[in-house]
Amino acid sequence: MGFGPKASSVESGVRAVKDLIELLYPEHATASSLSLVEHSTRALLSAGAALTFENIDRFWRDPKWRAEIMKLWPEPISGPWDSHDNQVLSPDALDKDFGWLLRDRIQATQSFLPDEEDSDPYALT
C-alpha cells in the first residue's frame, strides 16, 4: 500500500511526505529522522519505486535492492548511503526516531491486512 503524493515533481513529493510526518508524529520528527525520511523518499521516488514504509525499510536493510534502486536513478543522488555500500543498515541504528516511524507504520499497515487463515472472501461469518 503506497502513500504520499502523486505529484510530477520528486521534490514536491519529498516535501509532502516530510510535512505529513511532522504533522502526524511531531515527537519523532527530529532533524535526523526527517533527513532520513527525505533521503529515503527522494531515493524511491527518483527511481519510480512504490513509496511504502516497507520499501523505505527495505531500501536500508537490503543492500542488493538498494543498489537496484540506485541504478534506476536518472542521475546519481548523494545521501547517507554513500558510505555504506553493500551494508545491511537497520533504520534504528541510523536514527531511533526514524526506526520507530518505520516500525510503527509497518505494524499499522499489517494490522489492516487479513490473516491468511481468514483471507477467504467467500467464508461465512
For 94-114, the pLDDT digits (tens) are: 999 999 999 999 999 887 766
Which helix (H) or strand (E) segment is 34 a member of?
helix 31-47
Beta strands in the chain (DSSP E): none
The answer to whether the CB of 36 falls within 8 A of the CB of 81 is: no
Give me the domain span that covers residue 102: 10-109
- Position 118 in a domain: no
- Position 99 in a domain: yes
pTM here is 0.82
The answer to whether the CB of 44 falls within 8 A of the CB of 51 is: yes
Question: Which residue is it, cell 527522494?
Answer: 42
- Position 39 in a domain: yes
Into how many domains does the chain fold? Answer: 1
pLDDT digits (tens, 9 = 90+) for 31-47: 999 999 999 999 999 99
Strand, helix or coil at 72?
Answer: coil
- Position 125 in a domain: no
Q: What is the pLDDT of residue 125?
A: 46
Q: What is the pLDDT of residue 123?
A: 46
- Position 121 in a domain: no
Q: How many CA atoms lie less than 13 Å away from 5 in the CB half-sphere?
A: 17
pLDDT digits (tens, 9 = 90+) for 50-87: 999 999 999 999 999 999 999 999 999 999 999 888 89
